[in-house]
Structure 1
Amino acid sequence: MPPSSAQNGRTATAAKPRRRRGEGQWALGYREPLNKNEENKKNDDGLNVRDRIINIYSKRGFDSIDPADLRGRFRWFGLYTQRAPGIDGGKTAVLEPEELDDRYFMLRVRIDGGQLSVAQLRAVAGISRDFGRDTADITDRQNVQYHWIRVEDVPEIWDRLESVGLSTTEACGDTPRVIMGCPLAGVAEDEVLDGTPEIFQIYEEHIGSPLYSNLPRKFKTSIAGCSVYCTNHEINDVAFVGVRNEAGEAGYDLFVGGGLSTNPMFALRLGAFVRPDQVSEVWAGVCAIFRDYGYRRLRTRARIKFLIKDWGAEKFRQVLEEKYLGYALPDGPAPVLDQGLRRDHVGVHRQRDGRFYVGFAPKVGRVSGTSLDRIADIAEAHGSDRIRTTADQKLVILDIEEDRVESITAALEAEDFQVRPSTFRRQTMACTGIEFCKLAIVETKGRASTLIDELEKRLPDFEEPLTINVNGCPNSCARIQVADIGLKGQLVMNDRGEQVEGYQIHLGGGMGLDAAFGKKVRGLKSTAEELPDYVERVLRRFQDQRKDGESFAAWVGRAAEDDLK
């Protein structure tokens, strides 16, 4: 017999069953907010903050801003408070948000498809100079990011952006973020199809819509027919990847649930073939599943990757087709990935129309309004009205006549925008870091720039493809887990027993045919000061030990641990 209630130390009164809270999924009836973020979103849609910024906060100043808007809804229009100067990385996880806040903002401009005209680039440049202390970063989501923005100046900034067809709407927040696209869309000789119409159809039909302005977390999209898969479909929440079916029809293969941060996952392929005219409604269906079934109880489990991991690709596709589309999608082919291709579109290459595109590399995405204006001048002087941002913090100018290629190359390189960069300049990325980011623990942009300079001096003949990604915290904005050498910022002890800035090291990550997350070797860390020595050491061992044609990641997979330290 089971023990009595008395034997268990409890009264005989029947206990009421505890009501399960689930994961906060709306579709299952869990509509009550289960954390502060969800409560704030229920109280007021983030899209409504625009009017308050224009009519109240910009007129009354920083101190008038409601905290729920300041640290929440402002993000729906691309605004985050930046980190106050002088706060070291050891305080990042200790101080309250209001103690980390500066009275200035980071502002993110969404550049869907990475597409800019000369007039748009000039507007972006002018805002940087006039309102952002000449700061500007090209992000790995193809955006431009400013710093030092005052709330008083935001309405004029919006007016300038909107006058040239740009915006900051849903550039951040629990929303559909910028839609990534191949910078060579419509001009690449070997692309499957041009995804531009689909990108802008989604933008026009769904961005800024209250239907999708309250998602469990951010929602990242890529749409591209690029033959080198430059928008990194493997790590987007939803990705449409150009393929041709058995009939030779161009369309998209559908992937869902990629993402990095502290729980990295590669997107799952649903196996469905999506025609170009279906993309917008399929995108809306995937986004709506996330809205309705996404996990809202814990922020750490609120990305769509956790939902599809639990459901699996087959169930996700079934729900999409039966409950959201009302029709079945046909099966389709998977993309054919090539090993070792660089995805950044740097260099001079022929377009399908016989003209050329010129891809070039600022250092770790760090530019300025002044330098962006100069790029606009150079493009215009060489007959181009099309500038593109890439997913690797680089830039591309399209439509250059063959007899002007050398001239534009010389003009760009005179501004230190390298068209023929070293591997280290070409394939090193860095997130914002402690200079401006409230989540960061260490400095990144300057460290990565110094690392590039040192490696170019020490290894001038190193030519193998090699990605080095530098991140200021564990959140992986700079994609550390899928880099050959991923550097995650943290505080470490130096040989004098002092706590200093440093990095945990991930080795051998990558995307494409051999997609894998980088391995962590026990105890493998480096101080910031020792980092160039470490990277030089491991790259020299790679050069000494590599087999013919062997990639760095493949070598890491077989190398002895001592050779990786």
Structure 2
Amino acid sequence: MTDTQPARTPRKPARAQKATGAWADGDRTPLNPNEVFKQADDGLNVRQRIEEVYAKDGFDSIPGDDLRGRMRWWGLYTQRKPGIDGGKTATLAPEELDDRYFMLRVRSDGGALSLEQLRAIASVSNDFARGTADISDRQNIQLHWVEVEAMPEIWRRLEAVGLSSTEACGDTPRVILGSPVAGIAADEVIDGTPAIEAILERYIGDPQFSNLPRKFKTAISGLPDIGHEINDVSFVGVVHPEHGPGFDLWVGGGLSTNPMLGQRLGAWVSLEDVPEVWAGVIGIFRDHGYRRLRNRARLKFLMADWGPEKFRQVLQDDYLGRALPDGPPVVLGGRRYDHVGIHRQKDGLSWIGTALVGGRVSGDILHAVADLAETHASGRVRLTPHQKLLVLDVPDEHVETVVAGLEALGLQPRPSEFRRGVMACTGLEYCKLAIVETKARAAQVVAELEERLPTFDAPLTMHVNGCPNSCARTQIADIGLKGMVVTNEAGESVEGFQVHLGGSLGAEAGLSRKTRGLKITADELTDYVERVATRYTEQRVATPAGSPESFASWARRVDEDELR
């Protein structure tokens, strides 16, 4: 070095990149407690212990890793012990929150139930679950108050009619969403049912996909009616100009505490290829997903880092061994896809879609629906991703009879907009993560709004969630309500909600808007919704097509003060 050359500052050593826990990096050392118990024993293996040990020796015989971990692989969660208020949710240990009873989630892939399946669920509900039954926004039915001693008989009854709870929970491929009107809708591009059935037969319960970084959610539909933007992988019906009807491929959607909408890969997939492509996408998640931190383990985080171009290239090169053809995007219209009401099927019969508050039904109601469907229709029933229930194949001469029968059960085919648009998660009643009550609160608010605003005529979705995890899809609702503890005017800590506004899917897809400091107590909820709904009807404008502006569009454009 000459005297005129400046001395070089020593370069700092490169900062080692923190391990993500991805198996593809070559190190399978488990980096969090969930990965430890999954590596120690596959969650699928707990079924044998439930049947041979725990069902005989009782609740106290179940070790913690099985009780709060592996039993989820068979649809079983311990439910919340009664009497524990929401303010204690984050402060108590799991064993203090656990009740000695379970929620059981029954898979209903595509939401399709035959008459015998509906009756089996109803009987299990009445015989083993104190008559409880809730339709979830994943087209499942959830039962409560289930004792471990009853599980062998429950499985025997469910599996005898082709139902299961296999991988209904856990870090697994969860229930597959499908159009509730698959095979009967006149405007359906393609019926995705064969693909759903093929994936169920080939892959559900297969150990190659039973240890994923987190849950994996799938949607397959010939219509854009299943929230394709918020699933880990979605196949949505499109017509290719050369290849004909098939599916547009979306990857990386998910909500919870860090919401992201899925992204198109720009690839067209034939009906026959859906199972193989599905296996490729979930294989990428298994191998490349981030296993170190649970709150960054969903597929959406990998997609956010890779982008759709890289994801498609890895899928084609490393998992399919061939290129997928480019394809057209999904055609999104302005129609509603909640399936409520009386609709003509392509075969000339009708389906009748009913609204029920928060998905809550019962064993007796399900038995009564089965009676109606058997007497006046084909017996087929479908569940929807909006917590609704449909009776299919109703002849014209029986439509009003079925409508009257459903209304007598509290299931409304001609509901108010408030009843039609409400969704609610499980909430404080049973969920160990919840902070506030949801289903009873939703029912109360809907009844009060129907009385106060009987002529309200615009679509309005109101999603009531008991905690930040967004099981009721807070961020894509017109009015999304995230449960929390708030302080009332008297300075007391009470149940309340953070308000999200203007979320939607479809043609106006976008996440909701959080207005600064907008939190309300649970007791103020009806007054608040009445106020904001009234302002919307007063201020909405006509769209270029002449239809009224949607609530989401209005909520996104007005000043914050109008939303308070």
- Given the two structures, how large is their TM-score scaled by the length of structure 2? 0.96
The CA distance in 2 between the partners of 1:543 and 1:361, in whole Å, is: 23
Structure 2 counterpart SS, 1:513: helix
User: CA offsets, 1:276-319, max 9 Å, x none?
Assistant: 11000000000000000000000000000000110000000000
CA contact (8 A) 1:35 1:298 kept: yes
Aligned runs of 1:88-487 on 2, under 5 Å? 88-226=85-223, 229-247=224-242, 249-339=244-334, 341-487=335-481
Aligned runs of 1:494-505 on 2, under 5 Å? 494-505=488-499
Structure 1 counterpart SS, 2:195: helix
Alpha-carbon distance, 1:557 to partner:
1.7
Task: In structure 2, give the amino acid aligned to 1:233.
Answer: H
CA contact (8 A) 1:243 1:333 kept: yes
CA contact (8 A) 1:412 1:419 kept: yes
CA contact (8 A) 2:184 2:345 kept: yes
The CA distance in 1 between the partners of 2:400 and 2:75, in whole Å, is: 38
The CA distance in 2 between the partners of 1:411 and 1:72, in whole Å, is: 42
Alpha-carbon distance, 1:20 to partner:
5.2
Task: In structure 1, give the amino acid aligned to 2:304.
Answer: K
The residue that corresponds to 2:4 in the other structure is none
CA contact (8 A) 1:81 1:104 kept: yes
The CA distance in 1 between the partners of 2:187 and 2:377, in whole Å, is: 24
Structure 1 counterpart SS, 2:273: helix
CA contact (8 A) 2:377 2:392 kept: no
The residue that corresponds to 1:12 in the other structure is none
Task: In structure 1, give the amino acid aligned to 2:179.
Answer: C
Structure 1 counterpart SS, 2:484: strand
User: CA offsets, 1:447-486, max 9 Å, x none?
Assistant: 0000100110011001101100000000000000000000
Structure 2 counterpart SS, 1:312: helix
User: CA offsets, 1:119-144, max 9 Å, x none?
Assistant: 10000000010100101100000000
The CA distance in 2 between the partners of 1:160 and 1:148, in whole Å, is: 17
The CA distance in 1 between the partners of 2:8 and 2:191, in whole Å, is: 69
- Runs of 4+ with deviation above 3 angstroms: 1-4, 17-21
The residue that corresponds to 2:527 in the other structure is 533
Task: In structure 2, give the amino acid aligned to 1:91.
Answer: K
CA contact (8 A) 1:21 1:30 kept: no
Task: In structure 2, give the amino acid aligned to 1:524.
Answer: L
Structure 1 residue 55 and structure 2 residue 52: aligned? yes
CA RMSD of aligned residues (A): 1.5
CA contact (8 A) 1:22 1:30 kept: no
CA contact (8 A) 1:425 1:452 kept: yes
Moved more, 99-108 or 547-556: 547-556
CA contact (8 A) 1:239 1:256 kept: yes
Moved more, 549-558 or 101-110: 549-558
Structure 2 counterpart SS, 1:529: helix
- Given the two structures, how large is their TM-score scaled by the length of structure 1? 0.96
Alpha-carbon distance, 1:361 to partner:
1.3
CA contact (8 A) 1:82 1:105 kept: yes
Alpha-carbon distance, 1:247 to partner:
2.5
The CA distance in 2 between the partners of 1:458 and 1:288, in whole Å, is: 52
Structure 1 counterpart SS, 2:562: helix
User: CA offsets, 1:191-243, max 9 Å, x none?
Assistant: 001110000000000000000000000000000002xx221000000000000
User: CA offsets, 1:126-166, max 9 Å, x none?
Assistant: 00101001011000000000110000001110000000000
Task: In structure 1, give the amino acid aligned to 2:213.
Answer: P
Percent identity over the alignment is 63
User: CA offsets, 1:53-111, max 9 Å, x none?
Assistant: 00000000000001100010000000000000111111111111111100000000010
Task: In structure 2, give the amino acid aligned to 1:482.
Answer: I
Structure 2 counterpart SS, 1:460: coil
**Structure 2: tracts of 5 or more residues without a match:** 1-6, 543-547
Task: In structure 1, give the amino acid aligned to 2:27.
Answer: Y
Structure 2 counterpart SS, 1:530: helix
Task: In structure 2, give the amino acid aligned to 1:269.
Answer: R
Task: In structure 1, give the amino acid aligned to 2:309.
Answer: E
**Structure 1: tracts of 5 or more residues without a match:** 9-14
CA contact (8 A) 2:246 2:270 kept: yes
The CA distance in 1 between the partners of 2:27 and 2:139, in whole Å, is: 36
